[in-house]
Each structure stands twice: as C-alpha cells, then as structure tokens.
Structure 1
Amino acid sequence: MNILVINSGSSSIKFQLIQMPSESVICKGMVEQIGSQNTLFSYQTDRIEIEETDALETHEDGLQKIASLLLDAEKGVIQNISDITMVGHRVVHGGNSFSNTTVINTEVKDKIAQYAALAPLHNPHNLQGIILAEQLFPAAKQVAVFDTAFHQTIPLVAKKYAIPNTLFTENEIQVYGFHGTSHKYVSEKAIAYLKLENSKIISIHLGNGCSMTAIVDGKSIDHSLGFTPSTGLIMGSRSGDIDHSIIFYLVNKLGYPLEDVEHLLNNKSGMLGLTGYSDLRQIQDEVEKGNKACILAMEMNAYRIKKYIGSYISAMNGLDAIIFTAGIGENSSLLRKMVCSNLECFGIALDDSKNDKKSKEIREINTPLSNVKILVIPTNEELEIAKQAYHLLE
C-alpha cells in the first residue's frame, strides 16, 4: 500500500510517499521557510529532482503545491487519488488523550484543535494538513502520530511541576514532551547499532525547534520541552528556558499586552532575537565573517545544550551515547564541536576529522578513547510515521 506522510513543522513541511511494507520511498520533498518570499521547495523521485524557490505564504499554500505535484501528468507519481491508501500525519500535541497512533475522526480533530493553545506554532498547521488531505484524498484513511506519545513513560518525578496539585490532577498541567517520533526513531537506531541490551542515551534533536531526551532502555525518562514546545534549548525563534517573572515584568512594567508577549517568546526570540536570523546556515555564515552577535548566540546555544547533557547524565547515572539528529544536528559540524568541547570529565571526546565529514548514514564522530559514543543519526520521522500507521492498519 502507498502511505503519504505529511510532517508539518513550525516553518516547514516534509513529505514522503512510502510503499509499505517494503518501506521503499516513491517520492519525497520539503517546503522550507514558509512565510518568506524565498520559500525553498524540493521534490525528488527516482527519475527527477526539483529544487526551486517560491513565495509560499502559508502552510496551506505549501500543501496545495505538494498535492498538485503528486498528481502532475509529467512529474507526478500517482495516476489517481485512490492510489494513496493512507495519509499519516505528524501531530505535535496530543496531551494525555493519545498515547498511540490513532485513526482520525471528528473527535480526534476536535482534540487536536483543543491542544492548539499549547502548541500554537504546530497543531493548527497539523490540523490544516489533515483537513486538506481529507479533501484531496477522501478515500484514504487518515492517521495521526503524536509527538507526545513517546514521552508517556516520563515518570511522575520528572513530569510534575512544583505548583498546586489540582493544576495537575484537574487541568493536566505537566511535562508532555515533543519531537517524540524523531527521538524514538534515532534511539532505536542507536540501540541496534551499538547492540546494547541496556542503554543510557541522550538524544539531541536540533532544527528550527530543538529538544533533548534522556532515554533509558529505549524509554523516555526526561525531556527538555514541557507543557508546550517552548522551553528548554534555544530555538530558531523560541526563547527556550526563561524566568517566568520576565513575562510579568513585560506586562506589568513595560506595558506589553499578553498576546504580544506570547508572540515575542514564540516568534521573535531564540536565535532570531539574538542575531536577526532564524536559519542557522545564515548564522554560521555570519560567524565566519566575525559577526559578534552570531558568535555569542552560537556559544549560548551550545552552553544551553551542555547544561542539559550534564543534568541528564546525573538523572540516568551514566551515559552510553549521545545522538545528534535533525537538520542542524545532522549538518552543523560547528555546533556539534562547540557542544562536545570541554566535556572530558564525562568521558566525551569528539574526533574533529570525523565530525567534519558528511554522510547520510549513521556514523560515530567520537575518538577511539572516548568512553561515550557520539553518533550522528539522520532522523526519518516520515518513515517512523508510515511504519506506525501501517502497523495500526495491520
């Protein structure tokens, strides 16, 4: 069967059409920097490869472009919409309502909309993709795979906030965790690669959104993102960890409306707020030019990641491997080097020559004497979604 996977991020859409159970990719592509005048669009099959820029203002524009190309008489890969049996959707926030892959119905869509307040950069785009896919592929079964599902194993001691208990029991205010599909995929790859029966792993997902997970024996036990995907690491346009009193100061002393504060922390902070750029490729170009703001932002980014590495080693009482994954984690040798420097006290030693090499395969970038394996593992959330969707149908 053919499963179309739609992975809508905060500023991008990844897609793959995958034949299951063979796991062969019929086509794949990505829409990046949605909302800019220079949106990047890529599309690849076994016979053609397209890379172009376009002005795609919304996620809906991107999804419409993807759908039209799949059905294109010359460049497309399907003859009829009935060629797609199932559409698998990445959904960021499922709260406590969804711990497994789920067939989408009206109730599920209502829940996704309900959790949009907790993932305002993601759930609305996820739901929009579902609604459009239902219109474009009405005969296909629509399935949701939730980022939060992998983190259902986080124990209570790490899940609860130190606020009145009723807010946890009655209002479900807690750590949910995100990027679960990616962390699950790469951690399973690492465990198989290293042939570990028991494992302590830190997975570092670095893209426009960033997160880290402490994983013991394949199960998430702590995570840097919390109630919403806005805490933890410094991200493309999100602040990550911040003293909550700053919010009250902005509102009560500086006169910011609450909605402006939310927009500031989600859309104008992070690397964008520090440098004027949200794309790390541009920031690294500026670093090479000696841009002091960009140099400091990179140092801050690496420092925040180091702090989480230390805390997770403590929480797990040891460490077997660190995984770098996602667009930045897989491609930025500079950030990987900055993160892994001066961590010899934990037995972490990076090999610079291995780090500078590029590959689409899983690889080690640690020195032979490093007590901790440092792995770069390309994530494949789309394949993981297709696998989960296929197993649900089976």
Structure 2
Amino acid sequence: MSGFVFNTTKSIVSEVDASARIADLAGSLLGRRIVLVTDRGLRRLGIVDPALASFARAGVDVAVFDDVDADPPERNVSELVDLIRSHHATGVIAIGGGSPMDVAKLGSLIAGGGEKLSDVYGVNVAKGPRLPLVLVPTTAGTGSEVTPIAIITTGGAEKKGVVSPLLLPDIAVLDADLTLGLPPAVTAATGIDAMVHAIESYASASPNNNPVSNGLSKQALRLLGANIREAVFNGKNREARGAMLLGSLLAGQAFANSPVAAVHALAYPIGGHFHVPHGLSNALVLTHVLRFNLPKAAGRYAEIAADAFPELADISFARRADAFIHALERLGRELNLPQGLREVGIPREALPMLARDAMKQTRLLVNNPREMTEGDALAIYEAAY
C-alpha cells in the first residue's frame, strides 16, 4: 500500500436541532465575542435565529455578518475580516451553504494570522494561525464543513482556491432541520454536487488517492443515491435530509484528501461567468466528463456504480461504467435539473472562453484520470450544450 495522508475536522456533531443549543456545543471553544457568518436569505428566513437565541442565553456577544454573496468575491472576505477585528472576536461560526462557510474559513484565517488573502492562494501556502471556527451547513452538497478548501471569485470571473489543513474547522455540526426548507431545485443540485465529490474522489489521479477516501466515497454514494429523490420530492422527510447531510459530509472528507478533478475544473468558469450555482454547474458537465474519462477510468466507475444505483449490480462489470453514466443522466432528468448549458442562458459563442478558463484550473486538472487539453474541454462543453 502506498503512503498517504488523511486529515479531517476534529469533531463532528450530528444531531437534530443541534443549532438551537449551539452555545452548549461550541461556546467554550468560540469564546465570549463571536462573529456569525451567514447570508441575507437565511437571515431573513430565520434559519440562524435558534443559534442566536442559544448564544444570547449564554451571554455571548454576537455580531452577524450576512453580506455573503453567491460565488463570493474577495470583498466579502475583507469585509468580514474588518468586522472580526472591530468586534474583537474570539471565534467565528458560519451557518449556511458553501459560500458562507468558505468566507468564514478565510476570514478566521486572515484575521487570526494577519496574512493577506492574495498571499495565501494555492496549496499549503497559508501559515496561520486562525481563530476558532465552527461550521454548520444548511445544504447537503459542498461538504465544506470537512474540507481544507475555500474558493473565492477574484477579479472578474476567475475562481481561486486556498487549500490548507488550517481551514479545517474545529467543529462541524450537522442539523437536518436546517435543510428541511430547501427548495427542490436547490436540493437536487446540491445533492448531485455531493455525488460528484464522491465520484471524482474515488477516480482521482492524485498520488494521495487512498483507501480511507475510497471507503468514504462508496458509503457517501450509498446514502446519496438512496435518499436524493426522497429529499427532493418530499423535502420534509427529516430522515432523508439527515442521510443527505451525512452523505455530503462523507464525500467532503473523501475529496478533501483525494481531490476532485475535471468536472470541477469545467464547472468553475460556468459559475464564474454566468453565476450558475456551483452544484448545477457540476451537474451540467458531469456525465460528459465521465464519458471522456472512460478510456482511463472505466474500472473505477464500475466499482462504485452499484453503490449509487444498486440495480446496476446485475449488469456485467464490463458494461457497468457506461450504465453508471446513463443512470446519472436519468437521475438528472428525474430531478428536473436543466439538461444543457443553453437552458441556463449560456450562449454557444461563450464556449471557447469557458474552455480557456477551465485550463487555468491546473490544481484540479492534474487529478483527472485522463489528461485533458483545451480542445477536449471545448468538445465537452459542446456536448453539454
């Protein structure tokens, strides 16, 4: 067995209504003056109110930062850092999807260590330290609560990542009740996003592709495949919602150590230029990238096919990878997700630009099972159009 490294969040709490007693779970870590990071939509819906009430009962002084944008720009991080410093915060908590969690990660790092955001982009560049950090996801998709990664939109539409174990939070809290109100379209797209994490991690060409990540990917696909339809079409099913949250977390642990690849590389320009949500961007290119990878990754896809879709166990191993891709295509249609780039308003003439920008995602493309050129990326976008 080759050597590998596996890092993850120190403590994971999975409990219905956990956010309502968050001060008991995390108050001693976060201290008496904290900043809570969320977005305006969640604040308006009252999603963070139980947590705020819990801190108020404990006498904790909370400042709320709810100006996080979708595909957050660098500005969000600098504004959060200013608030953390002016509030003399002793800890940071995020309640939200991937965007608030990523902004909170970077805010706690920059405010805690004094580095500049522009100096920490890349892999293992950040030196830290960071402030105590707790992450509470409200979607079952990004797995950000267990990943050492934060993605920010820089300049116009390019996305850059900070990758460092320092970004792993001290505590991740899974509360299925926070996801009960997610609309079907968001549930579907974020659920597919989590499946992409598991699939790409399992087939990753990273030298750190490891048996722990592999096992987590397979278990994640079992949970996600068995529950995604119920979560989309019967969103009040707490058991299905909890299974999706756990599946997303397991997939996040997997790809945090055996990293994702070309699906994400091609998805980032779609989100950066056209503000398509990240999960949906992944869904739009997923099967086309997998089909491109078949000459190199068919065996790996065949190994996980029946985890996501148990009925594929009855198909011969030689045919299973192709059947897996067809099953993912059917799933996208069943969940009423858009089936082509044109359906989300992307003009055909933009495809060459997307292909050029995808090639900038070198930290992801290096993990793809099959080497990809700009011409290959363009062909995939055309197939996805």
Structure with the greater alpha carbon radius of gyration: 1
Relative to its length, the structure with more helix (as a share) is 2
Q: Answer yes or no: same fold by TM over 0.5.
A: no
